[in-house]
Structures are given as structure tokens and as C-alpha cells.
Structure 1
């Protein structure tokens, strides 16, 4: 099997490259080979490689920057996924695409299900929703996997930032009123592999939109506390933490207060379940050593 992965250095792509080993030939196209803002090049590359499966792990993920460069965000997050869907359908192959909790406004009090109506607060969420809609409009075999609060040992993310800052500063103030599930990119890659294996074995569930996050919930403050506990356990310095409301930490893009996603449909349809966020964090930290 030939698996084409867009994106090379992103958190999810790096974990996919490790964890899809042995499933087939991985064709990993980074920004140098595949500029997702270049529509004709996308078609050209897909046709040149003629894959059996496309995984779109590339995205414009700079949430605040997207507010000031909407055209770039929409080119990569909205237009490119639609083109990938068209090429996948033409080849008669599946497309796996990753989306986000930011398609919701966070006003619901319970976890969001796939049946809830999206209402993104900012450009990033709007562009990711437009990408979902573009894929759905093409149809064919596709999985849109919405995840949240992604971190890993690679790139830029909350875990790596906190590990650094908590050791550098005496005190830190962290937002405590946004609730979600920190999701390790390794978890996303492991689940993606399980989904591919089910499809290959003829045990595929329905195609469509699914939620895929770690189980459980916490705030950014709670996530920072867990990272701090791990530092202390390792005998390292750690800042004193204070919880603050989102209003005390304004950002160009507004964040949803409730980012919790109900992932039960993925378990029911595909028999793929996720670990508790604390367990996945421990696994990620263990791999750092």
C-alpha cells in the first residue's frame, strides 16, 4: 500500500511517520515538495504518486496569525482539502483529514457531538470548517477526525513551552476557564493506524466526521499542573502556578471555553477508543527520556 502524507514536520505528521511503519510505503510530502496553497501542484503530486490512501496532516495551525492572514489560512485549510478529496475520489481511494474543536464556539455546556452545529469564533476555525465542508461536498470515502489541544515532543506546542517556562520562571499565570482534552499527537497517529487497519481488513465503519481526542477533561491550568508535577517528580525546578480567566489573557483569536468533544461515535462505528489524557501525557513524557 502506498500512503501519501501531506506535511512533514508537523506534530501529527511526525508521529504518523513513526507509527504507520510497516503498513506500506509512506510518501511524505513536506512544504518543499507540496505547497498546499498551490492548487495545480496538489493535483500534479497526487497523480504522480498514485497512492492507495491520502492522509492530510498539513494545516495552517497558527490560530492568532490566521486572524491577520485569512487568505493563507483558507488556501491551506479550506481549498486544499477539497482538492485532495477530488483527487482521492477520482482514484477511488480514502482520504483521512484532521480537523479541530475550533469549529465550535464553546457555548455548549456538555461535550460536543458530531451532530452539533458548528459555529467557529475565528478565522482558523472558519477555515477548518470550510475544509470539512469542501471534503463532504466531494463525497467519496473520507474520514474527518476532529481533535483538540494537540501536543507532542516535536515542534511548537503547550507541553514544550510549559516545560521550558516552568523551569525558567518563579511564577506563572495560566488560563483556567477553558476546558478540553489535551491530545497527544501519538494518540492521534495510533488511532489513525487502527482505522487504516480496520479499513484494510474490511471492517470499516461509516465514512464521515468523527471526534478523536483523549478521554477525560481539564483546563489549560490543569494541563500545566500535570506538566509541573512531572518536572517536580524528575527533581527539576517548577514555577508556582495561578489560574486566571481568559479575559485576563487576551489573544487576537477568541478561544472556545468548552472544547470537549464526545468521541463515543468513533468507538461505536470503528471500535477505536482513546486513552485518558493523563496516561497519554505520561507515555509522551516517557518517550522524551
Structure 2
């Protein structure tokens, strides 16, 4: 089975390439300049040359604050490009998996969000990603929309790497303690999407079109930061004290959801897969990042 994955330099794309090894699945990563979501006319030639059995759209404009100043670009990349990709895959009889976000919700619920809960995005990012979901559903009936949250890994930019980097130069960090979600390791997300891909191969279709897939366990950003630095200290990595603050003390253009927990039970039921516990996965990621840093230092 050949899967075309967009966003080749992102956390999810790189994790998919690693996790597909040994599973009779060929991952073809594509990104700029050969495929550019700001220029959807680039999609046709890549789809023809790769001829995939399935497409996973993992590319997105994820600069949440930046998008408040450039909504047209956000909708171009997060909504119009997925719409065109879904249209082209429908014409070629190729299923598509669209990766979406917890930001489609307003964060006001006291319970984890289920797929049946009504979206109410409060940011340009959330609005553009919800528009992308709707476009994919409209353009290609053979689709899967998978919402996830708080993705981290040893690759790219993410909260775990940001905290470790900040601890190298600062003795005390302030981290928001009243915003909650499900930290999700990118390899877990990749494993879940590959489970869905295998299901499609065996059954020639998906049971439903919308799922949530996020890490197990509820956490605040403050709790995650403490876990990161505790593991880092134990491994001889950078350390710092962490001070809890409320979200209103953290100046940002785009509001963050107070609670963006996702209920992933539907995905577990239909595909037989659950992501790991966030504490275990954060600990492993910190170890890998520190090991990568030591290796790079040794090479230099």
C-alpha cells in the first residue's frame, strides 16, 4: 500500500515514515516546493507521479497567533488547499485522511469533546481548520477527518522542545496552569492513522468520517512542563523552576481553549487503537531529544 503524505518536514509526516517501516506500507513524503498548499495547482503532478492508494494531508499553517494577522493565507492553506486535494483524490478514486485540531472547539466544555459536539472555533486557525474539514467532507465521500491535540515529538517545533530550549538560558519559567488538553506523541498519532489505513485496505472504506485521536490523560501546560523538566534533570539535561500562571497572564493574539480534551473512544472502538499515556510519552520524548542533542554535539 502506497500512502502520499503532505507536510514532509512536519512531526506527523516524519513519524509516519518511521512507523510504516515493516508494515508493508510505503510512505511517500511530499512538501514544498514539489507540493505547495499555498499553490494548489502543484497537486496534480504529484498525485499523478506518485499514484498513491491513499493520501494523508498532514500539511497546515499552524502559527496560531500569526494567522490572526493573515487570515487569507490561513484559509488558503488550511481550507482551500484541502478542498482541492479532496476534489482531485475523488476524481482519481483515492481516499483521503485530513488531520484536524482541537481548536475547532471553544474550550468551554467541562467534559472531553466527542465527535458529536458542535464546533465553535474562536481563532482564525480554528475557523480555517474547520472549513478544511467541511471542504474535505464535501469534495470526497471516501474521507476520514481525524482531530488531534497538543502534538509533540523529537522532531520539529513543539512544546517539549520549547521548554527544554528555554531551560538552557533561563532559571525560572512561567507556564499556564489553567488550560487543559491531551498531549499527543506524534508516533502515536502516526500509529493510529496507519491503523485506519490498514482498515481501509481490508474493508475498502471507513466506518465513519470523523474521529478524535489524542493521547491518554488530562494535563495542563504547567503539568507537562514540570514533567519535561523532571525527566531532563534526571538525565542531566537543562533544568529550571516552573511557576504556574493563569492564561490571562500570557499575552497572545489568539485565545487558547481552556479545555480542549478530546474523547478518543470512537477511534479505539472502530480501529482498535489507543494512543499512549502522556506522561510516559513525554518522558520518552525528552530522553530522545536530549540524546539527539548529545549526538549532534559529539558530531560537531
TM-score calculated relative to the size of structure 1: 0.95
Partner of 2:77: 76
Q: Secondary structure at the match of 2:174?
A: strand
Mean alpha-carbon deviation: is it higher for 106-115 or for 185-194?
Answer: 185-194
Q: Which residue in 1 is equivalent to 2:47?
A: 46
- Whole-Å Cα distance in 2 between the matches of residues 268 and 155 of structure 1? 31
2:99 maps to what in 1? 98
| CA deviation profile, 1:23-80 (whole Å, cap 9, x unmatched) | 3333221111111121222233223332111011111011111111111111110011
Deviation at 1:190, TM superposition (A): 1.3
Alpha carbons 2:153, 2:185 under 8 Å: kept? yes
Query: Contact between 2:227 and 2:283, CA under 8 Å: does it hold in 1?
Result: no
Hey, what does 2:5 align to over in structure 1?
5
What pairs up with 1:232-247 in 2 under 5 angstroms? 232-247=233-248
Give the 3 Å change call, closer, same or farther, for CA 36–237 of structure 1 in structure 2. closer
Q: CA deviation at 1:205?
A: 4.6
In structure 2, what is the equivalent of residue 211 of structure 1? 212
Report what 2:252 is aligned to. 251
CA apart distance, 1:184: 1.0
Alignment-derived partner of residue 61 in structure 1: 62
- Give the C-alpha shift of residue 141 in structure 1: 1.4
- Shift of residue 235, structure 1, vs aligned partner: 3.0
So what's the TM-score if we normalise by structure 2?
Answer: 0.92
Structure 2 counterparts to residues 83-232 of structure 1, below 5 A: 83-202=84-203, 205-232=206-233
Write the deviation string for residues 121-149 of structure 1: whole angstroms up to 9, x where unpaired: 11001000000000111242111110001
Query: 259-268 vs 139-148, which deviates more?
Result: 139-148
Aligned partners of 1:19, 1:224: CA distance in 2, in Å? 27
Structure 1 residues 283 and 13: CA distance shift in structure 2, 3 A:
same
Contact 1:195 1:272 in 2 (8 A): no
What is aligned with 1:17?
17
SS at match of 2:35: coil
CA distance in 1, matches of 2:206, 2:141: 14
- Note if contact 1:112-1:261 (Cα within 8 Å) is conserved in structure 2: yes
**Alignment: residue pair count:** 289
Post-superposition Cα deviations, 1:201-228, rounded to whole Å, max 9, x if no partner, equal 3386513110010011110000000001
Conserved 8 A contact 2:61-2:77: yes
Pair 199,52 (structure 1): closer, same or farther in 2 beyond 3 Å: same
**How far apart in 1 are the matches of 2:214 and 2:168?**
28
Distance in 2 separating the partners of 1:208 and 1:53: 15
Q: CA offsets, 1:153-201, max 9 Å, x none? A: 1111110010121232111110001000111111111111222222223
